[in-house]
A and B are shown apart, each in its own frame.
Chain A
Amino acid sequence: MAQIADRLVDPVVAKGLWQVGIATVLAVPVLVATYVRGFDVSLEKEFGVALTRGFLRSLPWG
């Protein structure tokens, strides 16, 4: 448990969260472009689900 706590307070984890934020923002133009183009591909829903599932499930592996 102490090892896990050490890992969580590592500054590199905060840096990683910031990188996750930037990467997520980068996906926004794709969603906006599909909307502007008038495509009904439900990408925002797909990406939202993928984002939540992917991120939340990948963290416990760490």
Chain B
Amino acid sequence: MIVGVLFTVRVAWSGLVLLFMICGGAWIAHDRVSGFPAAFRVAGVSLLLGAGTVIVTMTATGVIEPTVRNLLPVGSMIIANAMKTASLAFERFVGELENNREEIEAVLALGVPPTKAVDRYVERGVQASLIPVVDSLKSLGWVWIPGLMSGMVLAGENPIYAAEYQFVIMAMIFAAGGLASLTSSFLIPEYAFTEAEQLRSFDGEESGADLG
């Protein structure tokens, strides 16, 4: 019923609905590492830059038709998948920091800049977060046939175009996830340390209410 109502509204409203979806996605991703300072802000900016850039670019080039009927389903697919990638990057990165706390603190004690001290762990987080989407792209049309193609074929669309479009969707998901993951890789190290360049505790006690 909600989808039915949404399809009747003006196209400008779909931007607002997509923004709402991004906020929801950021909230869910932030929940994964709620002890991390400014987790919601980092997740929100990552999703906005990742999913937002892809949706705007693809709509501007006409790949996504600027109608509510197209924008909302395709946009939600992109946002949801970018959220999954950002959550994985977050979870992995914070896990790596917790597991290697002593090593990082030793490196910091030697005078290495904080962002440099955690670069290796950020890299692992980005790599791990992109595994699902890269594997999905690799297995496309072989192991995995997305429901989107089946739906288009059932709706009477040219099957060759349906096959092309499913690839387009997967490439958009890769781009959105990649951008979200890389944005978080730039932002996360900024909040992982105190002003005295000490590694923060991520148990929630030092999350700092002023950081959001």
Residues of A within 8 A of B (CB): 7-8, 10, 12-13, 15-17, 19-20, 22-24, 26-27, 29-30, 33-34, 37-41, 43, 46-47, 49-51, 53-62
Contact = CB atoms under 8 A, between A and B. Distances in A.
Contacts of B54: 26
A40 B164 CA distance: 30
Interface residues of B, number: 42
19 contacts: A7-B158, A15-B161, A16-B164, A16-B165, A19-B164, A23-B63, A24-B171, A30-B179, A33-B178, A33-B182, A39-B127, A47-B134, A47-B174, A50-B140, A53-B137, A53-B138, A56-B141, A57-B140, A61-B159
Interface string B27-69: 0000000000000000000000000001001100101000000
Contact of B164 (A20, A27, A33, A39): A20
How would you classify the secondary structure of chain B's contact residues: helix, strand, loop or mixed? helix
A46 B127 CA distance: 11
* Best-surrounded residue of B61, B145, B164, B166 (most CB of chain A within 10 A): B164
B175 interface: yes
